[in-house]
């Protein structure tokens, strides 16, 4: 267990040098305070419960919704009933739309090895085979494919991203739930322990293969075969951090979509609408996808964190905004763990070349973090 000193009462927002220093000295980006520990562990426990549902649903979609032009039943992974339909229509359910927002962000920003594999001959051949098999027995799909030949391949790419995100969230859910367990028995006692737990979980799962096989008719087709060599950390986790934590997508109601106003950059690589940039205040505003996630976490909020909110801010009146604040702090910890887990060499290496590689790695990430809401780290 790592114990770090509580930061002084007066603090300044960490600059580039300070961010690098923290990364290279195994100190957490987030100030290591008891309040931060309580918020981060409990909000991640809530998020872990939500991710369990998201993961199950996305994997279900990957297994059952292939080339369905109207996937109206995609959210009923636990089975369909009139009672579930009524609860779905009334909003008494997990908001799987937020999971789809994250998938769309990954799919649209298209970073990482999985997206590169989408342009290879083996993947395109698999798509052609699946489409050919489906069109033999599905007149509607055959008609759609004749009129819109790009629809089916793009749909397969999208569903493949959905399935891979489901596999990723399965691992992250387990990491967060286990973090809460260790916190309750005293094994996690500071923010740095949280970062180490996430880092170790990511490293343990780093080489896990990401594969995807579907059954079309009587034939099995590999969409992401083992020989593609895609892995959990570099081909899904890191692209997820890039697409959801950093880039994201602009939300209606928070920024003008008027091209002449030029509030949205034409280069999507410069987008700064992700979780680490987000202003928590619009939480629960209409058209804000994270509002859906905050609602899901509110329904699964641990009592310790709910009680903490009662004595901070405006109590339960602005609980959703407070959850968003805590969630953003926790995402800095997850990013911290990802940076540490992808550090090229051990931090205690005495090799000058290894030290320089680590410094370059820390600088690259710190430069990305400079535009984020660094005040959340205080």
- Residue 339's pLDDT band, with cuts at 50, 70 and 90, is very high
- Residue 279's pLDDT band, with cuts at 50, 70 and 90, is confident
32 pLDDT higher than 70: yes
Q: 364: closest CA among 345, 339, 329, 347?
A: 339
Q: How far apart are CA 50 and CA 226, in angstroms?
A: 29
Rounded mean pLDDT of 144-171?
Answer: 96
Establish if 162 belongs to a structural domain: yes
Establish if 35 belongs to a structural domain: yes
What pLDDT, on the 0 to 100 scale, is given for residue 102?
93
The DSSP letter of residue 149 is: T
Q: How far apart are CA 269 and CA 242, in angstroms?
A: 9
Establish if 94 belongs to a structural domain: yes
Establish if 140 belongs to a structural domain: yes
What pLDDT, on the 0 to 100 scale, is given for residue 8?
47
Establish if 198 belongs to a structural domain: yes
Contact by Cβ (8 Å): 234, 242:
no
Q: How far apart are CA 245 and CA 332, in angstroms?
A: 9
The string of pLDDT tens digits covering residues 52-74 is 999 999 999 999 999 998 888 89
Establish if 2 belongs to a structural domain: no
What pLDDT, on the 0 to 100 scale, is given for residue 282?
65
Establish if 319 belongs to a structural domain: yes
Q: How far apart are CA 329 and CA 188, in angstroms?
A: 17
The string of pLDDT tens digits covering residues 321-338 is 899 999 999 999 999 999
The string of pLDDT tens digits covering residues 74-115 is 999 988 999 999 988 888 889 898 999 999 999 999 888 999
Contact by Cβ (8 Å): 300, 109:
no
305 pLDDT higher than 60: yes
- Residue 166's φ and ψ, nearest 5 degrees, are -60, -40
- Residue 261's pLDDT band, with cuts at 50, 70 and 90, is confident
- Residue 285's pLDDT band, with cuts at 50, 70 and 90, is low
Q: pLDDT exceeding 90 applies to what percent of the chain?
A: 73
The parent domain of residue 83 ranges over: 16-377
- Extended beta strands in the chain, E state: 212-216, 219-224
Contact by Cβ (8 Å): 370, 377:
no
What pLDDT, on the 0 to 100 scale, is given for residue 104?
92
207 pLDDT higher than 70: yes
Distant-in-sequence contacts of 133-136, Cβ < 8 A, 24+ apart: 133/216, 133/217, 133/219, 133/221, 134/66, 134/67, 134/216, 136/217
- Residue 263's pLDDT band, with cuts at 50, 70 and 90, is confident
Establish if 6 belongs to a structural domain: no
- Residue 191's pLDDT band, with cuts at 50, 70 and 90, is very high
9 pLDDT higher than 70: no
- What total number of domains does the chain contain? 1
Q: How far apart are CA 329 and CA 40, in angstroms?
A: 7
Comparing 119-123, 173-177, 284-288, 348-352, which segment has the lowest mean pLDDT? 284-288
User: What's the mean pLDDT when you consider all of the chain?
Assistant: 91
């Amino acid at each position: 267990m790592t114990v770090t000193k509580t930061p002084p009462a007066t603090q300044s927002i960490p600059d580039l040098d300070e961010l690098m220093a923290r990364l290279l000295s195994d100190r957490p980006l987030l100030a290591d305070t008891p309040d931060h520990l309580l918020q981060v562990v409990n909000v991640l426990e809530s998020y872990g419960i939500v991710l369990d549902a998201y993961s199950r649903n996305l994997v279900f979609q990957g297994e059952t919704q292939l080339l369905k032009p109207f996937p109206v039943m995609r959210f009923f992974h636990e089975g369909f009933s009139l009672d579930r339909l009524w609860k779905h229509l009334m909003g008494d359910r997990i908001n799987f739309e937020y999971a789809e927002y994250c998938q769309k962000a990954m799919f649209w920003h298209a970073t990482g090895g999985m997206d590169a594999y989408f342009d290879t001959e083996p993947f395109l051949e698999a798509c052609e085979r699946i489409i050919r098999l489906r069109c033999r027995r599905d007149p509607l799909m055959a008609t759609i494919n004749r009129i819109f030949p790009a629809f089916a391949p793009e749909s397969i790419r999208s569903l493949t991203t959905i399935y891979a995100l489901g596999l990723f969230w399965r691992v992250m859910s387990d990491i967060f739930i286990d973090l809460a367990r260790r916190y309750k028995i005293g094994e996690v006692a500071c923010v740095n322990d949280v970062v180490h737990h996430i880092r170790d979980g990511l490293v343990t799962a780093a080489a896990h293969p990401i594969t995807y096989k579907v059954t079309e008719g009587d034939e099995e087709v590999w969409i992401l075969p083992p020989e593609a060599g895609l892995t959990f950390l570099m081909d899904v986790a890191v692209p997820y951090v890039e697409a959801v934590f950093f880039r994201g997508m602009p939300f209606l109601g928070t920024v003008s979509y008027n091209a002449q106003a030029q509030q949205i950059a034409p280069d999507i690589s410069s987008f700064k609408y992700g979780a680490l940039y987000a202003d928590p205040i619009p939480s629960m505003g209409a058209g804000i996808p994270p509002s859906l996630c905050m609602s899901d976490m509110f329904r699964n909020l641990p009592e310790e964190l709910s009680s903490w909110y009662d004595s901070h801010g405006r109590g339960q009146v602005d609980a959703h905004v407070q959850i968003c604040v805590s969630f953003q702090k926790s995402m800095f910890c997850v990013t911290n763990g990802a940076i540490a887990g992808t550090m090229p060499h051990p931090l205690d290496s005495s090799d000058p070349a290894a030290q320089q590689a680590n410094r370059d790695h820390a600088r690259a990430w710190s430069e990305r973090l400079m535009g984020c809401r660094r005040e959340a780290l205080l």
